[in-house]
Amino acid sequence: MTRRAPHIVCYAPYTNWSIHSARQVTILQALRLRGCSVTYVACDGVYPVCDMTQPANGAALEAGLQACLVCQSSTAARLAAWGMPYRWLGRWLRSDDFKAARAWIGTLSPARFTAARYEITATDIGGEVWEIGAWVKSSVHTHLRHNVLDLDNPEVAEVYAQYLQSGLLACFGLSRLFAQEKPDVQLLFNGRMSSTRVALELAKLRGIRTLCEERSVVAGRMTLFDNAHCLDLSGVDALWQDWKGVPLTPEETAETAAILEDRWRGHSTDVSAFSKGLDDERQARAHLGLAGDKPIWVLFTSSLDESVDEPRSTGVYPTQAAWIEATVAFARTHGDIQLVIRVHPNSGGPRSLGRNPQDEAFFEALARSLPDNVRLVPAADDTSSYTLAAMADLGLIWYSTIGVEMMAMGRPVIRAGASWLAYCDFFTAADGPEGYIASLDTARRAPPQATMAQITGAWRFTYLWYFRQSIPFPLVNQPTWFQGEPAYKSTDALVPGKDPSLDHICNVFMAHAPLYPNAAQRSATVGAHEATAIGRHIAPFRADTGAGP
């Protein structure tokens, strides 16, 4: 019996973030060539608020009365140029839906927004409970760039109310879309942001498999998440458990070195590269007034508002702020160390995506009460985070990326937060506040040294994060981190056998092929080469000859 090719629905409200839509269209056209049926659904300005106008997204659409019209017209032009048939979400919405959404908001007090739910019994949709308050909460955090949502603040409550209204409209429209189209698989961008999160969660309720697409940090690559949004960590956790004991090949070591050195030197063009590259360590010491005869500990904060709503966003303390305060208290009573607090540049630096006003207020207040042996480097300060990492005797992180990069330099790091680094056993990690303070005391008494096993672990995790959990996608050119254009002139380039990565992605959709390969068996010779190559790259840092290569 011949198995029916699956029907794929792609809900794409943010088509003008073209790095994503160009890849989605390419995948859909390839699936169609393999016998699948596909439907592309774009947004026609039905929402009162949208993630595309958030400053935190870096490529934000200018907000205003014309924003939706501008977005809709450019979406139509883009899809026409790409030869992609599409439908507007509005065809699955009714005028009564807008009235119902406004009326529902009127029944809620702001204190109930985060737990707001809508129970539906209408026969054309079916009986379900929609946890809209939880589904849109992450977008409210990033819209405002607030770590904590103060719902007594009218501005915060108004933004949340708009996202709730948009979320309910998405529920109405997508529910009817799913009921009519009966997709086997949904292709979705991101799955975290407001209506994309609604699409993911509704599909789960209906038993529809969703594959969420996100850009990789490496240009020309993409990542897929199976029935999970883009901040879900179960996939990378499993990959790390599978691969952490496997040495990198010479090619993988070279790719890892290229990524690390691009970031260390300030050459990375990715949106997540917020710091300039390594510069003169002596100037940094002089700028901060650091003594040469006392150890330097550098605490790197994390930019939290995008991830703060995730289950693993905490750590050995309930909040990052509590951890920072505990570390400052330790330094206050131990004048033999010098503590530098590097505020994450994305909290409000020159390269930041918007500004986090809560972070700015916290660190302004903290700066007024620091002891003499503690320095605070604000987000806007031009001091290179990589120079601080290279000159530090010890790094302290919540879960900032630079912790991995610093360990990859050969510098010891204590991790206090969880999130994506929770299972990275190459860090020193505490199991609670007492354990954390004990780790600091141990480091003060006997300055730690990173072992080669720890450094190698950081390199393997770096390769996994940037390459192993992503898929090459050469069929779309990527001039900037958020723009994309098809790199092919006709769909002949998409037929089976032309591009191995596209063939693999189509097999994931059509045959449930595994997203990523299982761990390989590698010889001791590979491991020896890995250690030698890593040692060569980090020798300048280990020799304390300044700020690295």
CA distance 111 to 117: 13
Cβ neighbours of 527 (radius 10 Å): 15
Q: With helix as H, strand as E and coil as C, how does 491-502 read?
A: HHHHCCCCCHHH
pLDDT of residue 481: 87
| The pLDDT value given to residue 352 | 84
What is d(CA 220, CA 501) in angstroms, rounded to the nearest whole number?
Answer: 12
Strand 338-342, strand 209-215: pairing: unpaired
Predicted confidence (pLDDT) per residue in 456-492, tens digit: 999 999 999 999 999 999 999 999 888 999 999 999 9
Residue 126's pLDDT is: 64
- Tell me, what's the pLDDT at 548? 52
Lowest model confidence (mean pLDDT) among 111-125, 135-149, 203-217: 111-125
Question: pLDDT at position 542, please?
Answer: 64
pLDDT by residue (tens digit) across 422-452?
999 999 998 899 999 999 999 999 999 999 9
Contact 132, 101 (CB under 8 A): no
Q: Tens digit of pLDDT for each residue in 233-261?
A: 999 999 999 999 999 999 999 999 999 99
Q: What is the mean pLDDT of residues 14-25?
A: 97
Say which residue, 488 or 268, is predicted with more confidence.
Answer: 488
Q: What span, in angstroms and rounded, lies between the C-alpha atoms of 88 and 422?
A: 41
* Banded pLDDT at 540 (limits 50, 70, 90): confident
DSSP 280-312: -HHHHHHHHT--SSS-EEEEEP---TTTTTSTT
Return d(Cα 347, Cα 162) in angstroms, integer.
25
What CA–CA distance (Å, rounded) separates 32 from 37? 6
pLDDT digits (tens, 9 = 90+) for 49-96: 999 888 666 666 777 768 899 999 999 999 999 999 999 999 999 999
| Phi, then psi, of 157 in degrees rounded to 5 | -60, -40
pLDDT tops 70 at residue 2: no
Q: Is the pLDDT assigned to residue 355 strictly greater than 50? A: yes
Percent of the chain at pLDDT > 70 equals: 96
Least confident of 198-212, 246-260, 438-452, 532-546: 532-546
- The pLDDT tens digits of the residues spanning 292-338 come to 999 999 999 999 999 999 999 999 999 999 999 999 999 999 999 99
Task: Note whether 76 and 124 are within 8 A (CB).
Answer: no
Q: Are 264 and 402 in contact (CB under 8 A)?
A: no
Instruction: Indicate whether 546 pLDDT > 70.
Output: no
Confidence of residue 269 (pLDDT cuts 50, 70, 90): confident
Alpha carbon distance 281, 287 (integer Å): 10
Mean pLDDT (the chain) is 94
- Structure confidence at residue 354 as a pLDDT band (50, 70, 90): confident
pLDDT of residue 116: 99
Please report the domains of the chain, with CATH numbers, ordered by start residue. Answer: 7-238+470-511 (3.40.50), 248-467+533-541 (3.40.50.12580)
pLDDT value of residue 62: 73
Residue 11 has pLDDT above 70, yes or no: yes
CA separation for the pair 209, 204 (Å, rounded): 7
